[in-house]
Structures are given as C-alpha cells and as structure tokens.
Amino acid sequence: MNINIPEFSLVVLIADQATKRVVSSRMELHDTIPVVEGFFHLTYVRNPGAAFGFFSGRDSLPMHIAFYAASILAFGVLAAVYRLQGKGASPWPRA
C-alpha cells in the first residue's frame, strides 16, 4: 500500500486538533471518561511545557522560537528525503 505522507500527516494533525477542542470544550480539568472499562480512560490534563512537560514554567517566547525552528528544520529534512526517494536515490549512507 502506498501512503501519501503529507496527506496522512494533515489528517492526523486535523484529528489531533479536533479531539483537543472537543475535550477542552466538554470536559473539566482532571475529568476521566472510561472508554474501555479497566483498560483505557480518557483523562483531561494540561501540559504547559513541551513533550512530557520539558521547559514547563520557562519563558514561552524563546521556547516557541526554538520549536518553530526545529519544526522547520525537520520538515526540510523530511522533504529532502521524500524527494530523494522519489528519484530512486537512497538518502541513507551505505555501509
């Protein structure tokens, strides 16, 4: 199966943002909804930092600049890899 990575990424991003809006508009902070009883519960928590709370409580402007720069860099690397694969070349070094 051939998956279009940019389109798939866009669908995941939209689904992520939609679920965040639904949860924040319909649940109170720390509310829990059992999805599969005893196995999976949806709990509303807030994370003011980056992944796993890194940089929590730090000045947000430098953090935002750093994450935007990292995102642009990662997008550039992925775009280059995607283009190289389309031309039949491997972006990875050979041993």
Query: 3-state SS of the chain?
Result: CCCCHHHHHHHHHHHHHHHHHHHHHHCCCCCEEEEECCCEEEECCCCCCCHHHCCCCCCHHHHHHHHHHHHHHHHHHHHHHHHHHHCCCCCCCCC
Residue 93: predicted pLDDT? 63
pLDDT averaged per 10 residues, the chain (length 95): 79 92 93 93 82 65 82 88 71 60
Residue 25: predicted pLDDT? 93
